[in-house]
Amino acid sequence: MVDVGTSSVRASVVRDDASFACVERVAVGARSPAPGVVELDAAAIARAVLDAAAGAVEAVGPVDAVGITAQRASTILWDRASGEPVAPGIGWQDLRTVGRCLSLQSDGLRLAPNQSATKLAYLLDAHDPRRERDLCFGTVDSWVAWTLSRGDLHVTDATNAGVTGLVRLDGSAWDPEVLAVLAIPERSLPAIVDSSGVVGHALALPGAPPIAGIVGDQQGSLVGQGCLAPGQAKATFGTGAMLDCATGRERPAFAVKGDAGTFPIVARREHGVVHWGIEAIMLAAGSCVDWLRDGLGIVRDAAETDGLAGSVRDAGGVTFVPALAGIGTPLWDFGARGTLVGLSASTTRAEVVRAVLEGVAHRAADLCEAAESDSGHSIERLRVDGGMSENATFVQVLSDAIRRPLELAPVAEATTLGAAYLAGVATGAWASLEEAVSTTSPRGTVEPRRRLDRSRWLDARARAEAVVPAMSAIRF
């Protein structure tokens, strides 16, 4: 399985019992040359994919199928004939198209800057203003499939297509009205395929195994944690955090965004049938821990936050709002900014670190409340994965904040399991997804121990709103 995250490419070999035979990891970082600008080196990602995948196959031997999962909405544009990227890719966190989103909003078209639509238009305007070149657009999954198939496949699956801002509401096809407004040629877009099913072959790998599963990272985690039935939900804590809740085969009733700030997603597509869900988003989660390390310099590494935060009983009256890149669900205020209040001369770095972890946990409570409101389902237990799920202090305050049990994923990166299940079902390793997910169980459960002061935190959140009014004006 090939999993392209924000900071690395992982290639894993997953056995039929869902255990891992091998994991190869190659670092690939995004760069931020200016505030709000996030760029990807697509050529470096391609090299990392080939190196990691080749290393995994060399270590274990031939594989039966390849699954692909990747960060969503990040935008890559390349020349069809040469296969070379025409410019740096634009990361999903990039905000350079905020002005375009505001302009489109005034014309009645609501697109978010973290979707692919305006990112692609920006790249086309810069590198093919007359729309004469034969260029290919892809999110990262498309680029990986192109790379592994040696240019034979230009595809994306319905889960990745669904978060580009370029598809019809039913998730079935590209939306010609949006394409016309942004002057995006349909010939540049990939074919939309099922999340589970053979679409081609990885010609770059020994034996050319079939590419049989493609899924966005969050939907991959949803499947990987066994959230198939309506009301089952998971949260993934990486750079940001996403809470996804399965809702069934009927599309959620709201067109773009629910009253509580979640939006519909394609959870997966099998045999042409769409299974839906809703998603709530936190724009900064693990990046707040990175800020403690790189910005403030009060921890040496992310792992140190566990012991430091656990060394004090509480945050000593310090409250942190993790709005370093704005607030997503439920407010969708891109002009909000991080807030740290309640400091005194007796405040220690341990209390600041604990306040940061508690702040991320409170934002998770925001997401959970919003998902229940918009889906109409009660989330009895929340399944958790991502890098922050390795932090014992964090998962305890998370359970305390949302006031319900947590089930920790059997592996920190459940996205890989989801891609494995989808590819394995397509090639006969399991008869169904239900059978596939039954092969694993949570590595642990965390129960709430005490109640965090939610009202105090919500007061602090209100202070964080609309710090940059122009950014707060974005609506979608």
The residues facing 196 across adjacent strands are 213, 270
Q: What is the pLDDT of residue 203?
A: 98
Residue 210 sits in the same domain as residue 332: no
Q: What's the Cα-to-Cα distance from 355 to each of 165, 315, 361, rounded to whole Å?
A: 35, 5, 10
Element (H, E) at 281: strand 273-282
Q: What is the pLDDT of residue 106?
A: 86
Residue 267 sits in the same domain as residue 181: no
Alpha carbon distance, N-terminus to C-terminus of the chain: 34
Residue 198 sits in the same domain as residue 251: no
Phi/psi for 219 (5° steps) reads -70, -30
Residue 259 sits in the same domain as residue 404: yes
373 burial type by CB count under 10 A (0-12 exposed, 13-18 middle, 19+ buried) = middle
Per-residue model confidence as pLDDT tens digits over 346-382: 999 999 999 999 999 999 999 999 999 999 999 999 9
Per-residue model confidence as pLDDT tens digits over 24-81: 999 998 888 988 899 999 999 999 999 999 999 999 999 999 999 999 999 999 999 9
The domain boundary residue, chosen from 184, 216, 248: 216
Report the mean per-residue pLDDT for the chain. Answer: 95
Q: Are 442 and 407 in contact (CB under 8 A)?
A: yes
Q: What is the pLDDT of residue 476?
A: 65
119 pLDDT more than 80:
yes
The domain boundary residue, chosen from 175, 195, 216: 216
Residue 126 sits in the same domain as residue 233: no
Phi/psi for 414 (5° steps) reads -70, -10
Asked whether residue 93 is assigned to any structural domain, the reply reads yes
pTM (two decimals): 0.92
At 179, which CATH number?
A: 3.30.420.40
412 pLDDT more than 80:
no
Number of domains in the chain: 2
Asked whether residue 221 is assigned to any structural domain, the reply reads no
Asked whether residue 415 is assigned to any structural domain, the reply reads no
Asked whether residue 437 is assigned to any structural domain, the reply reads no
Place of tokens 């389902």: 377
Residue 137 sits in the same domain as residue 235: no
Residue 345 sits in the same domain as residue 247: yes
Asked whether residue 414 is assigned to any structural domain, the reply reads no
Residue 284 sits in the same domain as residue 235: yes
Residue 202 sits in the same domain as residue 239: no
Residue 174 sits in the same domain as residue 286: no
Q: Two tokens at 212?
A: 């049989």
Per-residue model confidence as pLDDT tens digits over 273-282: 999 999 999 9
The domain boundary residue, chosen from 198, 216, 234: 216
Asked whether residue 9 is assigned to any structural domain, the reply reads yes
The strand pair at 273-282 and 263-270 is best described as antiparallel
Domain coverage including residue 104: 2-216
Q: What is the pLDDT of residue 113?
A: 86
Residue 400 sits in the same domain as residue 259: yes
456 pLDDT more than 70:
yes
Count of beta carbons in the 10 Å neighbourhood of residue 405 = 15
Per-residue model confidence as pLDDT tens digits over 106-115: 888 989 888 9
Element (H, E) at 416: helix 414-426
Per-residue model confidence as pLDDT tens digits over 214-230: 999 999 999 999 999 99
Residue 232 sits in the same domain as residue 204: no
460 pLDDT more than 80:
yes
Asked whether residue 416 is assigned to any structural domain, the reply reads no
